[in-house]
Amino acid sequence: MKRSDKLALAGLIIVSLGGAALTNSFAYQLYFGQMPPGKLAIAIAGWAVAAYGPILLAGLFWRMAQRISAPWLLHMMLLPGFYVLLLAGNALMLSTLQVPDFDDTLGAPIMPALLSMAVTATVYFSALAAMQVQKRKARTADS
């Protein structure tokens, strides 16, 4: 298992623990606690898209970038991809509620997704910078 796979797995575990903690929150009880099972499944799917999506997308882009001739294109598309996942997950969750946005809940259901995006982007671009520094050191050592 590569280091990037281990980081992704750790991220998925941490997000899962955050999701489990969300089920004990006031916002969950208020908005999702009495929800019918069908609607709850849609809300959980939306949460999963928004929270797990950035980690999975970053892993996919990292692997694909190693195989194509213009990896910078994928690296530049990462943040817009995160935003699309956030919007999709948010729309799914809000479709099950009677509120227009998560202002009533202080953003509780979407906060793990925002944290997931921020941490994943930080790790991804830090690893990218470290890889570039390593390549430059290797080039200067060969010269």
Alpha helices in the chain (DSSP H): 3-22, 26-27, 37-65, 71-94, 111-142
Q: Has residue 54 got a pLDDT over 90?
A: yes
CA distances from 89 to 44, 62, 109, 118 (A): 9, 22, 10, 16
pTM, 2 dp: 0.83
Q: Please say whether the dihedral angle defined by the alpha carbons of residues 18, 22, 25 and 26, taken in this order, is positive or negative.
A: positive
Average pLDDT over residues 113-132: 91
- How far from the centroid of its chain's Cα atoms is residue 66's Cα? 21
Residue with the larger pLDDT of the pair 4 and 89: 89
Question: How many domains does the structure of the chain reveal?
Answer: 1
Q: Has residue 49 got a pLDDT over 90?
A: yes
Q: Has residue 105 got a pLDDT over 60?
A: no
Which residue range forms the structural domain that includes residue 33? 3-142
Least confident of 7-11, 54-58, 139-143: 139-143
- pLDDT of 1 reads 67
